[in-house]
Chain A
């Protein structure tokens, strides 16, 4: 069996599994899983760019995905004029003060002669900037959050089509990645891991607590959609005809139709990212990245700028994560900061890449599909398994109840085991690097 045939068969197996879910459970569920598979595949491509091409260990996937999500929120929601009127100036002035402080601080580091005086001025600028910003910031936040707190209480966004946020999310994530990369790259690999772990926690903390920006844990729901609403579809004549022609009720078919629209959008992005990744990997740039990954010392000896290339690839990968994050928020139609969990967003994506085959874009896509499918279907399977194990026990036994309640935690363990087993017995993954 040739390698290519084997790969095609594996993708076909995933398609068959999805079709089986459609037949046994429902097509709507099957498409819901498929849509998230598409997004997962894009995230896993992002990590593959960082890990597979360059060997960078980013444990902050959750943070970059959340940045994409917040872009979705900020681009699509209409601005809250009342909040802008009472606190807009304060926020804008704070922003300027912050930028000026940072620029001044960078200037002292870059231009002043090193010494005690420089350190003193540097600290002085930071402290003064902080307190000056607080003067404008605190009252602005207070008045913004007082504007109809039950409904808004935040500044709102730009009121633009949500599709624009996919690009904006990519840029936002890339910007933060630049800062993190500047600090942590060029040191030991572990330091990047810890730094990304930290920045992700902080991004989530900011999104949860800065109510003036994101409404915090009060969430923002009802984000505008790029696709038609089910209710509107059900009332149009041509749609009813179409549903009748296919032999489905309009309600049922509208849900499937909307999911198909999303699938088309996500699929287009996936194809674009995959095509670009493949082009990049097979270009001189891609060969250089792999050369650096395999032997940093010799690449550096050849005059290659290792840290610079690492920074570049780290930014690119994070941008892809940001795009996927914005897409996820678009699909959910709401922004809920508390839904960002490191296990769900960071480590699952890593398992996708490792299982799929690090360094191979097709592998990353396959991994995204397989692991996401498994992640969703593991819960009913685990429950079923627990039911089977405990079937011999008495109906009211405490152990049985405990086991059934804890079945959900089984999937964390299973995921960990899959990662360890693949790492040990098949480190090259399902579709190995060529």
Chain B
């Protein structure tokens, strides 16, 4: 019987808990992408670098607070700095919209022009982030590291497998739940949120009903910037901050948004978890798990890993391809491809 428990704990430790945390981070990122797509009707390639910018701003404030000796232990100081990070990212997004996207919006340019413009924005942000904080890894997590340590868990239960639960993972899941509830409350219950959804569903009808498009766009950028910063900071706390990694997150985030259906917030969340869990389950080595589940002492020879971790991006790509082939509108999408 212990074997079964051990197997379950093993899987929780290496697949379920990390998958939940990663899924929450992807979901928050994909939400930003999907909101911008729904309202402004283009795929924002700069989203990964917006995340990097927000995280960088938060890190800088965190360092400042740390140097003053401010701390909210056991929580990481970054949480205290987060509002400043969000504020600066919001300002950044609004400035880019004012200087870059608004012109093309008035021109009624094709979506692909917006896409290229966002590539330009990505370039500038990328350079800016590297210019300010450098291209290297930065760690900024402090406070309590673990809620549950593997050794403590082993002692408590007497099992040979431990379950480690990092504080950053708990924080990620908790924050994501709060943010998502707040976002849906905003979208479904407030006047501004309803006007956003109306604009997303049918632009002309919304304009006829007297909705101010510039206001809708403003709210959208604010939300997207906040979501990007939160997602970026949580990812940075959980792993570490490196500008190039954030650029690479673009693919899984877009895959999540497309799997869920571009423009659909519920879909973005579902998509985030689909991508995260596929990535983790496909790249996990099941050798020990099978050894526990199988009767006797038999263990498989190899690692029993479907795909090496170097190819984790391939997983999101494969899922993306499958969705494009089978159902291009995604799980919750309504707009025609």
Contact = CB atoms under 8 A, between A and B. Distances in A.
A202 B302 CA distance: 24
A414 B308 CA distance: 37
Contacts of A32: none
B42 interface: yes
Contacts of A195: 317, 320-321, 324
A160 to B, nearest CB: 30
B317 A419 contact: no
B123 A198 contact: no
Given A412-B127, A419-B120, A420-B121, A198 B311 contact: no
Interface in A378-412: 405-406, 409-412
A427 B123 CA distance: 18
B130 interface: yes
B337 interface: yes
Contacts, number: 132
A309 interface: no
A201 B116 contact: no
B42 A424 contact: no
B190 interface: no
Interface residues of A, number: 44
Contacts of A198: 251, 255, 313, 316-317, 320
Contacts of B248: 201
Contacts of A354: 116
A154 to B, nearest CB: 17
A260 interface: no
B117 A190 contact: no
B320 A209 contact: no
Contacts of A424: 100, 103
Interface in A172-216: 183-184, 187-191, 193-195, 197-199, 201-202, 205-206, 208-209
Contacts of B78: none
Given A197-B251, A409-B130, A138 B302 contact: yes
A1 interface: no
A199 B317 contact: yes
Interface stretch (A73-81, A220-228, A342-350, A365-373): A342-350
B156 to A, nearest CB: 39
Contacts of B120: 416-417, 419-420, 423
Interface string B303-328: 00000101101101100110011001
Contact of A57 (B115, B125, B310, B328): B115
Contacts of B313: 198, 201-202, 205
A266 to B, nearest CB: 27
Nearest to A406: B131
A417 B124 contact: yes
B324 A423 contact: no
A59 interface: yes
A132 interface: no
A59 B115 CA distance: 10
A363 interface: no
A154 B48 CA distance: 36
Given A197-B251, A411-B127, A412-B130, A202 B314 contact: yes
A410 B251 contact: no
Nearest to A413: B127
Contact of B128 (A347, A413, A423): A413
Q: Chain A binding site: helix, strand, loop or mixed by DSSP?
A: helix
B86 interface: no
Contact of B111 (A59, A190, A199): A190
Given A201-B313, A406-B131, A412 B320 contact: no
Contact of A189 (B103, B111, B117, B254): B111
B276 interface: no
B319 to A, nearest CB: 10
B40 interface: no
B250 A197 contact: yes
A265 interface: no
A55 interface: yes
Interface in B99-155: 100, 103, 111-113, 115-117, 119-128, 130-132, 134-135
A243 interface: no
A415 interface: yes
B130 A406 contact: yes
B308 to A, nearest CB: 7
A174 B131 CA distance: 37
A286 B116 CA distance: 23
B52 interface: no
A237 B306 CA distance: 61
Contact of A413 (B116, B124, B251, B310): B124
A156 B118 CA distance: 41
A202 B308 CA distance: 13
Contacts of B42: 190
A411 B126 CA distance: 10
A205 B311 contact: yes
Contact of B123 (A138, A184, A347): A347
A226 to B, nearest CB: 33
Contacts of A57: 112, 115-116
A205 B131 contact: no
A57 B111 CA distance: 11
A375 B284 CA distance: 42
A410 B121 contact: no
Nearest to A188: B337
Given A201-B248, A342-B247, A416 B124 contact: yes
Given A191-B337, A202-B311, 6 more contacts: A57-B115, A191-B324, A195-B324, A202-B317, A410-B127, A423-B116
Interface of A: 55, 57, 59, 138, 183-184, 187-191, 193-195, 197-199, 201-202, 205-206, 208-209, 342-343, 347, 350, 354, 405-406, 409-417, 419-420, 423-424, 427
Interface of B: 37, 42-43, 45, 100, 103, 111-113, 115-117, 119-128, 130-132, 134-135, 247-248, 250-251, 254-255, 258, 262, 302, 308, 310-311, 313-314, 316-317, 320-321, 324-325, 328, 337
25 contacts: A183-B325, A188-B111, A190-B37, A190-B42, A193-B43, A194-B251, A194-B255, A195-B320, A198-B255, A198-B313, A201-B248, A202-B311, A202-B313, A209-B308, A347-B122, A411-B127, A412-B127, A412-B130, A413-B128, A416-B122, A416-B127, A419-B119, A419-B123, A420-B100, A423-B117
